[in-house]
């Protein structure tokens, strides 16, 4: 596949990408697991799975359940911890010519700061903040459901890193624009949205929840209209770049997000269906642009006509 990088290249807060199609955190492992199935050199950026200070085993019981238009998951941030990532995993990803963005997750504000400081190493292009995590000091309320808490996380991370900081917003809020404004004011360099919606499935034979954690994150095509709407709202309200995600399965889906105001997109659940989705979507975007005589992908960002 020969992609037109001149046509497709984007710059997100200083992170230069060959295409606007990234891989969504938690759906692409650490990237190297997919190397046999897709040319990592032709992916816009690899966003690695959520990384924590200490290794985490994740949730017990069933972690994934298919839904009619997507999937539920409650992985529980299983990962080997930041030291293992930096020492052994990062060098493997850095063999490829692709920006590596590290998604970080903490139980306290201080943990986010520690993670950011540790990741100030060569080979990391940026940090994405998973603020859908429970704040253990505030009774378990997710950082991403309170503008003040989200802003505090951004502020401490910015103090501890020179890297671009991307705040990943949860859709499980009343006012997504208020959340976006808060993280922008706190110094976020970009915003990615949306994270998963909260869902549940019940086994009608056993009368028990399907997932071991009872509830989980809903992703896939079912959430795309919600995601497009939120990207459109946020892109109009902030000046920093927006990365759109949520149910992107095809190039047409990706173009919707770009028109809504996203400067780049991330493919998540689709990776489970087809590991080569990110590069195929990039090619589809290029074909779309070429048919319309458009020379650079940025020319369609935010061009939806609502009046």
Terminus-to-terminus CA distance in the chain, angstroms? 38
Cis amide linkage into residue 194, ω under 30° from 0: yes
Catalytic residue among 129, 133, 238, 264: 133
What are the residues whose beta carbons fall under 8 Å from the beta carbon of 277, sequence distance 6 or more? 249, 267, 270, 271
Residue 203 DSSP one-character state: E
Residue 286 DSSP one-character state: H
For 257, 285, 296, 299, the CA distances from 293, given in Å and listed in that order, are 20, 12, 9, 11
The CB density around residue 68, as the number of other CB atoms within 10 Å, is: 7
Question: H or E segment at 166?
Answer: strand 165-168
Query: Quick check: 64 and 71 in contact, CB under 8 A?
Result: yes
Q: Give the residue among 9, 98, 95, 35 at the shortest CA–CA distance from 276.
A: 35
Give 307: exposed, middle or buried? Use CB within 10 Å, 0-12, 13-18, 19+. exposed
Q: Is 74 annotated as catalytic?
A: no
Tell me the pairing of strands 45-51 and 64-67: unpaired
Q: Give the residue among 109, 280, 81 at the shortest CA–CA distance from 186.
A: 109
User: Given the structure tokens 């309200």, which residue do they identify?
Assistant: 237
**Where on the phi/psi map is residue 272: left (φ > 0), alpha (ψ -120 to 50), or beta?**
alpha
The CB density around residue 291, as the number of other CB atoms within 10 Å, is: 8
Active site residues: 133
């Amino acid at each position: 596949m020969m992609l037109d990088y001149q046509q497709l290249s984007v710059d997100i807060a200083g992170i230069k990408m060959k295409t606007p199609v990234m891989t969504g955190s938690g759906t692409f492992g650490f990237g190297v697991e997919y190397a046999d199935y897709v040319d990592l050199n032709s992916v816009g950026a690899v966003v690695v799975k959520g990384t924590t200070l200490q290794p985490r085993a994740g949730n017990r019981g069933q972690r994934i359940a298919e839904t009619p238009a997507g999937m539920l998951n409650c992985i529980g941030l299983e990962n080997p911890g930041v030291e293992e990532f930096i020492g052994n995993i990062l060098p493997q990803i850095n063999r490829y010519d692709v920006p590596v963005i590290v998604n970080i997750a903490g139980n306290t504000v201080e943990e986010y700061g520690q993670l950011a400081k540790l990741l100030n190493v060569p080979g990391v292009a940026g940090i994405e903040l998973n603020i859908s995590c429970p704040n253990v000091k505030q009774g378990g309320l997710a950082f991403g459901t309170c503008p003040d808490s989200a802003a505090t996380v951004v502020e401490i991370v910015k103090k501890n890193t020179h890297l671009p900081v991307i705040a990943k917003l949860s859709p499980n809020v009343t006012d997504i624009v208020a959340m976006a404004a808060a993280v922008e004011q706190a110094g976020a360099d970009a915003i990615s949205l949306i994270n998963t919606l909260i869902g549940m499935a019940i086994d009608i034979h056993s009368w028990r929840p399907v997932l071991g954690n009872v509830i989980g994150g809903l992703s896939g095509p079912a959430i795309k209209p919600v995601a497009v709407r939120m990207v459109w709202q946020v892109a109009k309200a902030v000046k920093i770049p927006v990365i759109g995600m949520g149910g992107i399965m095809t190039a047409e889906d990706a173009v919707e997000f770009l028109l809504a105001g996203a400067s780049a997109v991330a493919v998540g659940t689709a990776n489970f269906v087809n590991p080569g989705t990110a590069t195929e979507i990039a090619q589809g975007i290029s074909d779309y642009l070429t048919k319309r005589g458009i020379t650079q992908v940025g020319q369609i960002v935010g061009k939806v006509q609502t009046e």
